[in-house]
């Protein structure tokens, strides 16, 4: 089931690399549109990436998926009262 972890890494990578996707000559603008659409679900994708990586813990891809998942759910931190309050 490394395929599930690999797919989650690809989806999360598209979201994280949105700034450099326009540099791809033929497909850049389409990948940017896809990544922007996926960016609306970044917290959900981050949680799914962490869960999939824990369930199918078998390779270095699982470690990468957990790190990427943590980066993607970082946008959720301001919603947590004890952590997100900066004043």
Total-model pTM? 0.76
| Residue 86, pLDDT above cutoff 70 | no
pLDDT value at residue 78: 72
17 near 68, Cβ under 8 Å? no
DSSP, res 59: S
CA distance 9 to 5: 6
Domain ranges of the chain: 2-84
Quickly count: other Cβ atoms within 10 Å of residue 63's Cβ: 12
The stretch 53-81 carries a mean pLDDT of: 83
Span 1-45, pLDDT tens digits: 678 888 888 888 888 888 888 888 888 888 888 888 888 888 888
CA distance 56 to 54: 6
Phi, psi of 69, deg, nearest 5: -60, -40
pLDDT value at residue 84: 58
pLDDT value at residue 85: 60
pLDDT value at residue 16: 86
């Amino acid at each position: 089931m490394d395929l599930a972890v690999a797919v989650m890494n690809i989806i999360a990578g598209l979201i994280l690399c949105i700034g450099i996707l326009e540099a791809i000559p033929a497909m850049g603008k389409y990948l940017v549109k896809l990544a922007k659409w996926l960016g609306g679900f970044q917290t959900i994708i981050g949680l799914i990436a962490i869960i999939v990586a824990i369930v199918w813990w078998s390779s270095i891809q699982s470690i990468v998926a957990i790190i990427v998942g943590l980066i993607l759910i970082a946008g959720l931190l301001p919603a947590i009262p004890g952590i997100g309050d900066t004043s």
